[in-house]
Structures are given as structure tokens and as C-alpha cells.
Amino acid sequence: MSILKKIVLVYVMVFSIFCFTGNIALAHLNKTILFVPHDNRPISFKQTADNIRDLGYEVLTPPEELLGNRTNPQGHPDELAEWVIDNAKKADSAVISADSMIYGSLVASRKHNLSVETAQQRAENFARIHEANPSLKLYVFASIMRTPQTSEASGSEDASYYAQYGTDIARYTALTDKKVQDGLNRSERKQMKMYEQNIPKEALEDWLGRRATNLEANKKLIDLTKKGDITYLALGCDDNAKYSQTNMERRELDDFAKSLGSSRYQSVAGIDEIGFVLLTRCVNNLQGDIPFVSVHYAKGTGANTIPAYSNEPIKDSIKTHVKMAGGLPVTSDKRANLVFMVNTNFDGTTGAANDLSNTYTPNENVLNFVQMVNTKVAEGKNVGIGDITFGNGSDNSLMITLYNQKLLDKINAYSGWNTPTNSTGYALAMGMCANYTDRVGILKMLEVRYLDDWLYQANIRQTVANKLNSMPGEGTYGDTKTRTVPAEELATKLLQEKIAQYDLATFDGQSYVKDTQVRFPWERMFEADFIFPQEEQINMESEQNPIEK
């Protein structure tokens, strides 16, 4: 055989192997995941599902009208269950909110009037899903009902009496929990009696009765996991504290689920991030991968920070989130697929992103933290950032320093959204998903967080809120009513100006963000949706003129 023929033969063999393995990879990605969020908020629903779709997976989601929303938190759980059962055979894996399936939504889980029997019957639908597709990997998440620490923190998303008695209820049940864990001193026993006298009996009985129903529904989910109908169950502790009714119930549920082990069950501080975390676990399993994650903290309290809305040090929540997402915590950056870095206040406090204290002037702690990020990026590490110096938005001083150091388009994941544990869990999931896409795909995920967490939540939100009363019509921060459209228009104008100011549309493949529009789908200013007209036009043209294969 001539040398030329040998070269040609080797080329053909290599090309054939490449095509064969390429087809395997494409076939591997040609998987379908069914996803039911716990409501229709953009970050719970659309943004999370799109993150997974952009990795190459088909994501089946229910018709939006079946999900709970702001005006109808009860949703349509019976119709939703039938939709899931009908579509279960089409999916390889499913990530499903039990709050949607049982109560209608996360908010409805705090306000429902279901009997224990009805709640458990609806939970039994997960056995029907398993029966419809026994090979389906079924990942389920549910909430352990929250305990807002003040009436104001409730935000009208709990029973109506919480607006008047919520602070007393939270303090009373905190003492109840402290009595169990550590005992009470004389002063605390006296306070407990005072709260018992101040809180109307019917209000406390209603609140505790609803929690008892939820507790039994969660125990039913644990039983279904023990039976094998549910592959993996995650329970999230919505707004929580060291001493609280939520924490007391978490301990009881953890004990009830003890026989399952961490490979089939986990509870964690937080809830809104868990849909994305479990979708990431699903993707990691489909990919046959276990990402290694190392974690670093800003100086000071760092890993031992107990952030707002949580009952545990952030290091514990992050460790659980890593495992929940299908990863493995490691101590060496050398072995890590993701180097996760957590921005915390030196003293461990958590502020509010729309406070005046959230300035663009970095302190020494922030400068040191960004230097840590810069070093790891320069070493070629995949870096993710959980930004929890403030709750409900980014640390402006961190973001401007990342911008000045030209690092915004160099990292792989970022979140500073909602509660601190929401932020770290979401950023961890994003960082793991970044393993399965290219730089343009990573930037696409990052852009939404920069627009939402940084530009909108930490800045534009308060600016627009301050101008609401000068707008025509009626509306407030919590219910924009007829001022929704002018508020959206002002937010859109301010956002587009900041996108240009910080060059976000110049990142590779991200020119479409320059015309981003802001919407308030829940007609309140806390949640924002981001519409990309350029991208929508491209998608529309693709649907009208499909490429023949």
C-alpha cells in the first residue's frame, strides 16, 4: 500500500470516528426534560428553563395559565397534574415543584385552606407520574413554609392577619423553638406569655394549622421517595432563622427522611433557586458528569456568615447546594471544574441592595476579593461569583470593580439576586451548566443576571420607585396598577442607558441586549422581565423559515 493510500485510510478512519463520537454527543444532548416551576415569575420559569434549553436540551413546560401567578396563586393543580402525567412519557427526566402540584404555587402554599387529606391526595400524583413512565428520573422540590421575621417582610404574601400580627407570631414561635433547642430564661418565658396574650387565638391556630397540613404533605413526599416513585427530593426552607417554626419543622422532616441519605434527599436554606439547582443535577446526570467545586470567601466572617433569611452559615448552604446540583465539594482549585467565590461583608452582615449604603466606591474587602477573582481567571480557572453582601441585588462596588478590571465577560457565573442563599445556589448551578456550553452561551446567562441583579435591582428599581407618584394614574411599589406602563417605559430607558454605559452589548454575541425592554409581569416592582426584541425577531424568522435537514 502506498504512503498516500495509508494517509487517506487514516484520514477516513479518524473522520469516521469523529462523526461517530459526534453523533453520540449530539444524541446524548438530544434529551427531553419536563420542568414545572413553583410559579410563573420570570426567574422561576422562563429564565431558568431557557438556561437549560440553551445547553441543547428540549425543555417541556406546562401552559403558563396552569401555573400560579400573582392574581391567582392557587393556579390549577388538578389540570397541571393531568398535563404532567400526559407528557411524562415524552421526557427522559423531570424537575417538578410539589408546591405547584399540591397548592398551585409557592405563595399559595402559605395561604391555602386544604385539608391534610386533599394535600396528600395531590401529592400521590407523583406516584401516577412514575407509573406513566417508570424509567423517568423524577426530581421534586417543595418548600417548608416560611416564617417572615416581621409583618413588613411578609409583603402581603401570607395570610391577611400576618400584616398585623406577623412580627409577634415570628417572635412567639422563635421562643417556642428556642425552648426546644436550648431552653428559656425567666425573661423569655415572660415574653412568650405576652405574645400568647397579644396574638388572637384564631390567627395562631390558622397559621399553625396550615403549617401542619404542609408538614404532612412533605412527609407524604418523603414516603413516595422511600417507595421509589420520586428519584430525589429537595426541601427548601423559605425565609428562615436560627430559631423559628420553619427550622423546627426542618429538623422534624430531616429526621423523618433519615433513612434516605443525601443521595436521595436534602433540605437547604432557600427555595427560589432550587428549580435551577435540580435542573442542573438532571443535566449533570444526563451528561454522566460530577463537577468538582472549590469555594473561596471574602475576608472577614466569610464562610461563617449567617446571611439574612437563613438559619445557618453560608458555607453549609453552599456545600448542600453543590451536592444537590450533582457536584462534589473539593478543597483544591487544581482539581476543580468550578472555582466558586463568595462576596460577603467583612462583618458578616447582609444589607439591602436598594439602600444608600450600596455605593460604587469599593472598600478594601471588595478590592481584595476582586484581586482573588482576577488571579483565578488569569490562571485559566472557571470562576463563579455568589454576591451576598446585599440581599435583593448586586453589590455596586463589586460590579464596578469587575467592570474596571474587564472581568465581567471573563467569569463563568454570577448571581446577586433575591436572598443570599437564592444567589449562591443559582450562581453555583449556572457555573456547573457553563461546563456544557461555549463562551457565547455563558455570556448569554450572565447578561440576564447583570441586567436584573445589578442594573435593575440594585439601581433602577429604586429610581423608578421614587418617581412613581409623579406618574399619571394609580399605583404603588407593590401594586403598580395603571402606572405599570409608564414605570416600564422609564425602567427601559434607564436600563438601555446603563447597558451602553457599561458596554454590555459589546460582549461576544450579545449585541441583542442593547434594545432590552423591561416588563413588570406581576405588576409590582420587585420582579422584572427582560425582553430582547432582536432575539425574538431572529427566533420568529427561524420558525417561519426553518432550515431543511
Rg value, the chain, Cα: 24
**pLDDT for position 538:** 54
CA nearest neighbour of 408 among 364, 363, 454:
454
Rounded CA-CA distance 27/286 in Å is 11
Class of domain 32-148+211-287: alpha beta
Q: Please tell me the pTM assigned to this model.
A: 0.92
Instruction: Give the three cell numbers for residue 86.
Output: 400526559
Tens-digit pLDDT profile for the chain (549 aa)?
544 444 333 333 333 333 333 433 333 456 999 999 999 999 999 999 999 999 999 999 999 999 999 999 999 999 999 999 999 999 999 999 999 999 999 999 999 999 999 999 999 999 999 999 999 999 999 999 999 888 887 777 888 999 999 999 999 999 999 999 999 999 999 999 999 999 999 999 999 999 999 999 999 999 999 999 999 999 999 788 889 999 999 999 999 999 999 999 999 999 999 999 999 999 999 999 999 999 999 999 999 999 998 989 999 999 999 999 999 999 999 999 999 999 999 999 999 999 999 999 999 999 999 999 999 999 999 999 999 999 999 999 999 999 999 999 999 999 998 999 999 999 999 999 999 999 999 999 999 999 999 999 999 999 999 999 999 999 999 999 999 999 999 999 999 999 999 999 999 999 999 999 999 999 999 999 999 997 765 555 545 555 443
Q: Does domain 289-437 have CATH number 1.10.260?
A: no
Count of beta carbons in the 10 Å neighbourhood of residue 82: 14
Angle at 515 between CA 514 and CA 518, to 5 degrees: 115
**Three state DSSP letters for 500-549:** HHCCHHHCCCCHHHHHCEEECCCCCCCCCEEECHHHHHHHHHHHHCCCCC
Q: Which DSSP category does 468 fall into? A: G
Q: Which residues lie closer than 8 Å to 373 by C-beta, 6 or more apart? A: 341, 383, 385, 402, 407, 411
Q: What is the largest CA-CA distance in the chain?
A: 99
Residue 156 confidence (pLDDT)? 74
What cell was used for 88? 411524562
What would the grid cell of residue 66 be? 396552569
For the record, the C-alpha cell of 168 comes out as 409577634
Predicted pLDDT at 541: 52
535 vs 48: CA distance, rounded Å = 17
What pLDDT is attached to residue 536?
60
One-letter identity of residue 431:
G
Cα separation, 181 vs 241, whole angstroms: 13
Quick one: pLDDT at residue 543? Answer: 52
Topology match between the domains 32-148+211-287 and 289-437: yes
Give the whole-angstrom CA distance, residue 377 versus residue 489: 37
* Contact in structure between 372 and 324 (CB atoms under 8 Å): no
In order, the DSSP letters of 314-379 are: HHHHHHHHHHHTT-EE-S-GGG-SEEEEEE--TT---EETTSTT--S---HHHHHHHHHHHHHHHT
CA distance 230 to 247: 24
Nearest 5°: the CA angle 217, 218, 222 is 120
Angle at the Cα of 168 from the Cα atoms of 167 and 173, rounded to 5 degrees: 105
Four-point Cα dihedral 121, 127, 128, 129, nearest 10: 120
Euclidean distance between CA atoms 504 and 499, whole angstroms: 5
CB 105 within 8 A of CB 99: yes
Question: How many Cβ atoms from other residues are within 10 Å of residue 285's Cβ?
Answer: 17
The full set of domain ranges for the chain reads 1-30, 32-148+211-287, 289-437, 441-549
CA dihedral sign of residues 480, 482, 487, 489: positive
Residues 516 and 42: their CA atoms lie apart, in Å, by: 15
Task: Tell me what pLDDT residue 537 has.
Answer: 57
